[in-house]
């Protein structure tokens, strides 16, 4: 949204808590899952360990993009879990992954990727979706 000169969307007050992860931390674990005997028939939580509010994420994104004063648009809250953070001890025990990339470094790498390749992508719009039945209201545009 920043790249397209639109306010950043936050639903509700932005105090929802999540643990964000960098793709290079989760993709290798997911792809190795079928190859690790100790992982067979097991369930794992894959993701980040450090909780952040959506407001904190918004500030970090604006910082990473050099757009500290970029506007934020708070939309009505959606029905969602307020705190969604899981335990990853089992992942560490079975897969022994390297230390995860922290949020600032992950955002820095993502911005570098975007500036070199991603800027050529267009935002996804849903106006041409044929079946809107049961689509979440927040995905529909007025």
pLDDT greater at residue 132 or residue 26? 26
Question: Residue 129 pLDDT more than 70?
Answer: no
The answer to whether 11 and 75 are in contact (CB under 8 A) is yes
Confidence (pTM): 0.79
Written as six digits, the tokens of 26 are: 């989760």
What was the pLDDT predicted at 32?
Answer: 93
Lowest mean pLDDT among 43-52, 81-90, 132-141: 132-141
Residue 75, strand partner residues: 11
């Amino acid at each position: 949204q920043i790249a397209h000169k639109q306010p950043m969307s936050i639903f509700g007050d932005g105090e929802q808590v999540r643990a964000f992860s960098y793709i290079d931390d989760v993709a290798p674990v997911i792809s190795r899952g079928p190859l690790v005997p100790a992982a067979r028939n097991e369930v794992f939580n894959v993701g980040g360990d450090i909780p952040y509010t959506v407001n904190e994420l918004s500030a970090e994104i604006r910082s990473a993009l050099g757009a500290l004063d970029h506007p934020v648009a708070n939309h009505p809250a959606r029905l969602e879990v307020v705190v969604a953070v899981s335990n990853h001890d089992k992942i560490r025990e079975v897969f022994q992954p390297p230390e995860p990339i922290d949020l600032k470094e992950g955002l820095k790498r993502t911005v570098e990727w975007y500036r070199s390749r991603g800027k050529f992508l267009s935002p996804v719009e849903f106006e041409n979706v044929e079946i809107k039945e049961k689509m979440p209201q927040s995905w529909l545009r007025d």
